[in-house]
Amino acid sequence: MSDLGIVIVSYNVCALLRDCLKSAQANEGVRFSICVVDNGSPDDSAGMVEREFPQIHLIRNSNSGYAAGNNLGLRYFGFSEKSDPTSNFKFQTSNYQSPISNLQSPIPTPQDPTGKPPRYALLLNPDTIVPPDAFVRVVAYMDAHPDVGVLGVKLVRADGSLVSWGYDADGVVSQTPAGNDFVAIASLRGNHSVALRADGSLVAV
């Protein structure tokens, strides 16, 4: 079973996507696979992935939107509302029709010998440069904190400044504290949400 299934939905950002994939593939220490869902990019993004990253699975899709593209990628990795009967996570499909008619390539079953979805899923934006230890660190954090179901990471701009992320108790956009690499934003395995304090401890909210 893979540790991490990574879904990247891309539209018309060929150069950024190339840099993202190069940085992602430089990660070591965990077993991961990448699925790129290209939403009909006119800039040959899909062709670039096929030529330069043949080991990455590509889904050619018309532009059905970001959320629908992620759903296609998650389905490719085998995530569904029946993925794990012991989990509280339910992949909601009742109000969503998969845009199969929009697909320009099939969605084959992932070639995982166990037939099981990855232990975790990562939705990654194509304009991201991933540090070489990012995947092993997030997987280690999730493994060490089984009460956390969803994890957000610290986002840093090219100039080193932090990207504003999340809201405080008054509904004001706040920044991830400089000392935190992760922010736990919800728990899907329990009946409560959690947040990460500045000292790294968890608190139920």
Residue 184 and residue 151 in contact, taking contact as beta carbons nearer than 8 Å: yes
Q: In terms of pLDDT, which residue wins out, 171 or 42?
A: 42
Between the CA of residue 67 and those of 8, 26, 81, 94, what are the distances in Å? 11, 27, 16, 15
pLDDT, position 52: 98
Least confident residue range of 29-43, 104-118, 134-148, 182-196: 182-196
Dist CA 59 CA 200 (whole Å) = 38
User: Which tokens hold the place of 122?
Assistant: 């990562």
E strands, 91-163, in order: 120-123, 150-153
pLDDT, position 51: 98
Domain ranges for the chain: 1-127, 145-205
pLDDT surpassing 90 at residue 41? yes
Confidence at 42, pLDDT banded by 50, 70, 90: very high
- Look up residue 164 and give its DSSP letter: E
Q: Please enumerate in sequence order all residues whose Cβ is within 8 A of that of 48, keeping only pairs 6 or more positions apart, or say none.
A: 14, 17, 18
- Tell me: the pLDDT tens digits for 155-184? 788 888 877 655 444 443 344 444 556 554
- Tell me: the pLDDT tens digits for 130-155? 999 999 999 999 999 888 878 888 77
